[in-house]
């Protein structure tokens, strides 16, 4: 009988750990209209071949499809279904993409580790061929990620949309590794306490 009780308790603790893991993986995505919304310590330009931030070693990036670049740091993915793939070199729980847009831009999709987390219109009512200071700046902040390394894909979704065009990436970045937050004690303790309490009740009933 005691052996059965131990099996039940072990199973409940496993369930509790799964609950905790699920609770910590709630991803939130917020699109802000100002670049300042993403206050990150590690960042680089979309076109980091022409202008650098000093943090380029914290990223690995590749681009599939044709692109347009500018010396001010902008990189536009032009091809339909073309994309930029960014790999973080260090664990992070937050990633930010800063779009610079005009009337030549369109819909984008953002994927984290293969899962789409956002789709939206990056078009702006601004004439083309304007400098960065005249572009519409939008910051997409992805928070609540698991504290591990991530693959971020920014894809041009040209298709049946109101606006079709480029997807222009101005900057992107993520939190410093040492800034990773540790879950608060109640977040961990409450599910475990509930499972232990259930185990105690089952044990008393069997007695």
Neighbours of 160 (CB within 10 A): 7
Which pTM value belongs to this model?
0.75
Question: Using one digit for the tens of pLDDT, what is the confidence trace for 149-165?
Answer: 999 999 999 888 889 99
Kindly tell me if the per-residue pLDDT of 168 is higher than 90: yes
Question: Using one digit for the tens of pLDDT, what is the confidence trace for 9-67?
Answer: 555 544 444 444 444 458 999 999 776 668 888 999 999 999 999 999 999 999 999 99
Percent of the chain topping pLDDT 90? 64
Q: Which residue has the tokens 């083309």?
A: 128
Residue 7 has a pLDDT of 57
Residue 187 has a pLDDT of 46
Q: What is the mean pLDDT of residues 89-105?
A: 96
Percent of the chain topping pLDDT 70? 71
Confirm if 59 and 89 have CB atoms less than 8 A apart. Answer: yes
**What torsion, rounded to 10 degrees, do the Cα atoms 187, 188, 192, 194 define?**
-10
Residue 184 has a pLDDT of 45
Residue 127 has a pLDDT of 97
Kindly tell me if the per-residue pLDDT of 97 is higher than 50: yes
Q: Which residue has the tokens 């044990």?
A: 203
Query: Distance (Å, rounded) from C-alpha 60 to C-alpha 90?
Result: 11
Query: Distance (Å, rounded) from C-alpha 188 to C-alpha 190?
Result: 6
Angle between helix axes 185-206 and 2-23 (nearest 10 degrees) is: 160
In this prediction, residue 131 has a pLDDT band, given cuts at 50, 70 and 90, of very high
- Which one is predicted more confidently, 123 or 182? 123
Report the phi/psi class of residue 19: left, alpha or beta, with left for phi > 0 and alpha for psi in -120 to 50: alpha
Kindly tell me if the per-residue pLDDT of 170 is higher than 80: yes
Domains of the chain: 1-24+183-207 (no CATH), 27-182 (2.60.120.260)
- Which one is predicted more confidently, 77 or 207? 77
Kindly tell me if the per-residue pLDDT of 96 is higher than 60: yes
DSSP the chain: -HHHHHHHHHHHHHHHHHHHHHHTT--EEEEESSGGG---SEEEETTTTTS--S-GGGEEEEEES-EEE-TTS-EEE-STT-EEEEEESS-EEEEEEEEEE-TTB-EEEEEETTEEEEEEE---S--SS--GGGSEEEEEEEEEEEEE--EEEEEE--SSSS--SBEEEEEEEE--GGGPPPPPHHHHHHHHHHHHHHHHHHHHHH-
């Amino acid at each position: 009988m005691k052996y059965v009780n131990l099996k039940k308790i072990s199973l409940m603790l496993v369930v509790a750990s799964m609950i905790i893991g699920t609770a910590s993986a709630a991803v939130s995505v917020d699109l802000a209209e100002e670049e300042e919304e993403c206050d990150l310590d590690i960042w680089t330009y979309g076109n980091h071949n022409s202008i650098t931030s000093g943090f380029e070693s914290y990223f690995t990036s590749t681009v599939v499809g044709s692109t347009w670049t500018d010396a001010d740091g902008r990189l536009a993915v032009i091809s339909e279904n073309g994309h930029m793939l960014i790999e973080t070199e260090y664990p992070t729980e937050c990633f930010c993409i800063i779009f610079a847009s005009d009337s030549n831009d369109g819909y984008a999709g953002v994927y984290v580790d293969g899962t789409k987390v956002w789709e939206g219109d990056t078009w702006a009512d601004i004439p083309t061929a304007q400098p960065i200071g005249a572009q519409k700046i939008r910051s997409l902040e992805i928070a609540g990620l698991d504290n591990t390394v991530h693959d971020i894909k920014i894809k041009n979704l040209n298709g049946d949309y109101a606006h079709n065009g480029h997807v222009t990436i101005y900057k992107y970045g993520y939190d410093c590794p040492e800034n990773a937050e540790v879950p608060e004690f109640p977040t961990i303790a409450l599910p475990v306490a509930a499972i232990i309490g259930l185990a105690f009740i089952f044990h008393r009933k069997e007695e």
